[in-house]
Amino acid sequence: MSALTWLSPLSLPPPLVWDHALRRGLEEDLGTAGDLTTDAIVAPDLEGRARLAARRAGVVAGLPVVVRVFELLEPRVVVRALVDEGSRVAAGALLATVEGPARALLTGERTALNLLGRLCGVATATRALVDAIGDASRPRVVCTRKTTPGLRALEKYAVRAGGGFNHRFGLDDAVLVKDNHIAAAGGLAEALARVRVRVGHLVAVEVEVDTLDQLEAALALGVEAVLLDNFELDALHRAVELCRGRALTEASGGISPATIGAVAATGVDLVSTGYPTHSASALDVGMDWEMAE
């Protein structure tokens, strides 16, 4: 069975949550005829060994996913991690070794590298945001639902590997009342009344506001958390003061490494951003082949 030398305490969601994405990736590559090139050139009994390396500096996330890609093709492939998940690596750093039937290594290479590069890229972008705040008392950096369809669980894991935290995973684990919900209900009070009748006592309820007037109305209705959307810095400072001891504050809108420091300095509890998942570049990672002795 495929194995990984575990070096990190980071917890990846169960494969049941993300296995379908890996299978889709392999099916997309293999089609109905399989790997024509590898199957024609490589003998079925040939063993191989390869090294996974970062071709530019970044943060590592996704080595357990590499394990599963190869496991789906051939359970005898063994992956050994050489670095922790969530660790910073320099360009040229070795990330893992992969050893087993050569056909499986060659056939799974692109799918494994696509996923690994994507997740390392998300982790690297998240770390850039965390570093840009640079204060021990900083707010948490949290991600959004602006993820690649089918990869949400993995991309949110990569955010954690980069030092960030997760906002809600989907529409079913928290309530976030936005402007369109309020418009559809005919007002915030009515929207909140309907929510409180419907959801259980353990479900968090947050309201998105665009102005200080909207914020004061939400606070008067006893909301537990507010999403301060696209507030100017002066208004954000004022909002934090209004919410102190009354509601959790989350700043959102236009967050990037260039802007997050000033937003964090306002004293908000959370800074939420889709930047790590919708704007991250894949980290360039490669698989360098060696023949088994």
The first and second tokens of residue 282, run together, are: 């894949």
Give one word for 225, left, alpha or beta, with left for phi > 0 and alpha for psi -120 to 50: beta
Q: What are phi and psi of 137, to 5 degrees?
A: -95, 15
Do residues 31 and 111 make contact, with C-beta atoms less than 8 angstroms apart?
no
Show the tokens assigned to 24. Answer: 């889709």
Q: In whole angstroms, how far apart are CA 243 and each of 10, 168, 234, 265?
A: 33, 21, 15, 16
- List phi, psi (to 5°) of 285: -125, 150
Whether the Cβ atoms of residue 118 and residue 151 lie closer than 8 Å to each other = yes
Residues in contact with 222: Cβ distance below 8 Å, sequence separation at least 6, in sequence order: none
CA 95 to chain centre: 19
For residue 159, count other CB atoms closer than 10 A to its CB: 29
- Closest to 81 (Cα-Cα) out of 101, 52, 56: 52
Other Cβ atoms closer than 10 A to 140: 18
Residues designated catalytic? 110, 146, 178, 208, 229
Residue 1 burial (CB count, 10 A) = 8
